[in-house]
């Protein structure tokens, strides 16, 4: 949150406690960012990586706590439903039994005896005895069902009470985890703001990024060749016809880039494609996944070997949907847009390399 946005939120907030909490959160985030940047010899990229990892862990814990809370809510709803069903069964059986039991009470044992004695014939007596036995059996069965419904209701009521208590605990844990993830997001945001706004930090980050670019080139040069029989060919004829790896506009092009704030020059070996976080990232051509994992300065990085000495790279992915050694077709999902290892926020970094040398991806992409 920028200073202006924070000021506006404080002015618009009618609750002084909310204002105080916002100030405390911002102060804690600034202190955390200051601690992360306090070691002058510490790598900016490592600092960002640590912040990204802490945020990822906090968000994972938050998702886990939310899932547990949601599951507890589901169990509580089921227990309530079972209790209501048992109560309805009990009410139905009792509604049936009450008048019959009252009638039996009024009639008593002598009433039954009188009914049997008044039979005119032996056949009528047997018939009346059988009828009374059937009535008694029906009433006993209804009474057993009522008792079972009562037991089910008490069991469901106990489960509901226990689940309600558990839900309260899990809801508190979920709130704590959400707050922790929010604090980590604020720390990372403050850290990135500091890097973007302080010239010395910006220059140091740019120098480290350039160094990592060279290490990436060495890494690609050392990649093993495709397996026998798995070599892809024909990539060279796709120049100017490749689909974009993600939907979005090119925000930063290939080559020298001048920072308007500090007038510093950096060299882009790929392009930045503006795309929302979570957007799908797809392979631009068939190939073999030569790398799928974390790479310092690039976050989650996927490299696809297309044969003929050509590689494409997609970086800063939020998630990866492929693994090293996997054969992929054009359009296969490689992952999603994210901001892992990024100093700029969510976007997709895309490179095309020819025999290890970066070339302008725009010349390869279809209009």
Residue 4 lies in a domain: no
Q: Does residue 93 share a domain with residue 34?
A: yes
Share of the chain above pLDDT 70, in %: 81
Tally of CB atoms within 10 A around 94: 15
**Is residue 93 predicted with pLDDT exceeding 60?**
yes
Number of domains in the chain: 2
Are residue 55 and residue 155 in the same domain, yes or no? yes
Do 143 and 168 belong to one domain?
A: yes
Closest among 334, 336, 337, 327 to 305, alpha carbons compared:
327
Q: Measured between alpha carbons, how far is 40 from 47 in angstroms, rounded to an integer?
A: 11
257 within a domain of the structure (yes/no): yes
Q: Which of 197, 221, 240 is the last residue of a domain?
A: 197
pLDDT at 10: 44
Look at 63 and 4; give whichever has higher pLDDT: 63
Tell me, what's the pLDDT at 134?
81
Domain-embedded: residue 26: yes
Looking at the fold, whether 221 and 176 belong to one and the same domain comes out as no
Q: What is the mean pLDDT of residues 192-202?
A: 78
Which of 87-91, 117-121, 230-234: highest mean pLDDT?
87-91
pLDDT at position 8 is 43
DSSP annotation string for 61-107: HHHHHHHHHHHHHHHHHHHHHHHHHHHHHHHHHHHHHHHHHHHHHHH
Using 50, 70 and 90 to split pLDDT, how confident is the model at 53? confident
> To which H or E segment does residue 304 belong?
strand 299-307
Residues 179 and 33 grouped into a single domain: yes
Among 37-46, 293-302, 335-344, the range scoring the smallest mean pLDDT is: 37-46
Q: Please compute the mean of the pLDDT values over residues 25-52 and round it to a whole number.
A: 69
Q: Which has the higher per-residue pLDDT, 348 or 195?
A: 348
Across 306-335, average pLDDT: 94
Q: Rounded mean pLDDT of the chain?
A: 82
Q: And the tokens for 115?
A: 């009914």
Supply φ then ψ for residue 113, to 5 degrees: -65, -45
| More confidently predicted of 328 and 157 | 328
Write down the pLDDT at residue 305. 94
Find the length of the chain: 367
Do 245 and 137 reside in the same domain of the chain? no
Instruction: Confirm if 299 and 342 have CB atoms less than 8 A apart.
Output: yes
- Establish if 241 belongs to a structural domain: yes
Residues 29 and 143 reside in one and the same domain: yes
320 and 302 Cβ atoms separated by less than 8 Å: yes
CA distances (Å), 95 to each of 104, 120, 133, 326, in order?
15, 35, 21, 68
The predicted structure's pLDDT at residue 106 = 67
Last residue of one domain, picked from the residues 197, 223, 249: 197
Question: Given this model, what pLDDT does residue 335 score?
Answer: 96
Beta bridge partners of 338: 347
- The answer to whether position 208 is within a domain reads no
Confidence category of residue 346, pLDDT binned at 50, 70, 90: very high
Is residue 125 a contact partner of residue 117, using CB atoms and an 8 Å limit?
no
- 71/108 same-domain check: yes
Written in H, E and C, the secondary structure of 176-230 is HHHHHHHHHHHHHHHHHHHHHHCHHHHHHHHHHHHHHHHHHHHHHHCCCCCCCCC
- Distance between CA atoms of residues 312 and 304, nearest Å: 5
Does residue 207 lie within any of the structural domains?
A: no
Predicted pLDDT at 43: 79
The pLDDT value recorded for residue 12 is 46
The answer, yes or no, to whether residue 112 has pLDDT greater than 70, is no
What would the mean pLDDT of 70-79 be, rounded to a whole number?
89
Q: Once rounded to an integer, what is the mean pLDDT over residues 19-29?
A: 64
Residue in the block written with tokens 């945020």: 55
pLDDT (0 to 100) of residue 276: 94
Q: Which of 98-107, 193-202, 273-282 tops mean pLDDT?
A: 273-282
Query: 327 and 265 in one domain?
Result: yes
107, part of any domain = yes
Rounded CA gap, 247 and 266, in Å?
A: 25
258 located within any domain: yes
**Do 183 and 285 sit in the same domain of this protein?**
no
Q: What does the pLDDT read at residue 238?
A: 93
Which pLDDT score, from 0 to 100, does residue 193 have? Answer: 81
What range does the domain containing 277 cover? 213-363
Identify the CATH number of the domain in which residue 169 sits. 1.10.287
CA atoms within 13 A of residue 22's CA, in its CB half-sphere? 18
CA neighbor of 274 nearest in space, from 346, 205, 326: 346
Specify the residue for token string 């690039």: 298
Residue ending a domain, among 156, 172, 197, is 197
Counting residues of the chain whose pLDDT is more than 90, the rounded percentage is 30
Angle 22-28-33 (CA atoms, 0-180°, nearest 5)?
125
Instruction: Say if CB 336 and CB 318 are below 8 A apart.
Output: yes
Look at residue 117 in the predicted model and tell me its pLDDT: 62
Contacts of 307 (CB under 8 A, 6+ apart): 226, 231, 232, 233, 235, 287
On whether both 67 and 148 belong to a single domain, the answer is yes
DSSP H or E stretch at residue 153: helix 122-197
Residues 150, 27 share a domain: yes
Q: Is 340 in contact with 299 (CB distance < 8 Å)?
A: yes
Q: Tell which residue, 168, 166, 182, has the closest CA to residue 61.
A: 182
DSSP secondary structure code for residue 270 in this structure: S
330: domain CATH number is 2.70.70.10
Rounded Cα–Cα distance for residues 226 and 325 (Å)? 9
Question: Which pLDDT band, with edges at 50, 70 and 90, does 109 fall under?
Answer: low
């Amino acid at each position: 949150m920028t200073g202006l946005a924070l000021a506006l939120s404080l002015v618009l907030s009618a609750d002084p406690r909310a204002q105080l909490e916002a100030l405390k959160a911002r102060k804690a985030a600034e202190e955390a960012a200051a601690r992360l940047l306090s070691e002058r010899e510490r790598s900016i990229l490592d600092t960002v990586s640590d912040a990204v990892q802490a945020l990822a862990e906090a968000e994972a814990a938050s998702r886990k706590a939310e899932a547990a809370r949601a599951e507890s809510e589901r169990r509580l709803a089921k227990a309530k439903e079972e209790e209501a069903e048992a109560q309805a069964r009990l009410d139905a059986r009792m509604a049936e039994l009450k008048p019959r039991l009252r009638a039996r009470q009024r009639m008593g044992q002598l009433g039954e005896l009188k009914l049997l004695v008044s039979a005119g014939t032996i056949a009528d007596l047997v018939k009346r005895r059988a009828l009374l036995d059937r009535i008694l059996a029906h009433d006993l069965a209804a009474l057993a069902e009522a008792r079972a419904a009562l037991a089910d209701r008490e069991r469901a009521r106990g489960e509901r009470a226990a689940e309600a208590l558990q839900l309260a605990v899990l809801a508190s844990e979920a709130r704590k985890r959400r707050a922790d993830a929010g604090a980590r997001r604020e720390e990372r945001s403050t850290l990135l703001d500091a890097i973007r706004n302080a010239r010395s930090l910006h220059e140091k980050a740019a120098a480290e990024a350039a160094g990592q670019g060279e290490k990436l080139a060495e890494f690609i040069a050392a990649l093993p060749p495709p397996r026998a029989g798995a070599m892809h060919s024909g990539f060279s004829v796709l120049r100017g016809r490749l689909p974009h790896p993600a939907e979005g506009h090119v925000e930063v092009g290939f080559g020298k880039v001048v920072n308007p704030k500090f007038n510093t020059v950096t060299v882009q070996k790929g392009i930045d494609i503006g795309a929302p976080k979570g957007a799908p990232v797809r392979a631009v051509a068939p190939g073999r996944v030569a790398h799928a994992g974390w790479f310092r300065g690039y976050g989650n990085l996927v490299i696809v070997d297309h044969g003929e000495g050509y590689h494409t790279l997609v970086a800063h992915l939020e998630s990866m949907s492929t693994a090293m050694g996997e054969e992929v077709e054009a359009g296969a999902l490689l992952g999603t847009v994210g901001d892992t290892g990024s100093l700029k926020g969510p976007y997709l970094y895309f490179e095309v390399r020819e025999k290890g040398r970066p070339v302008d991806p725009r010349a390869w992409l279809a209009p």
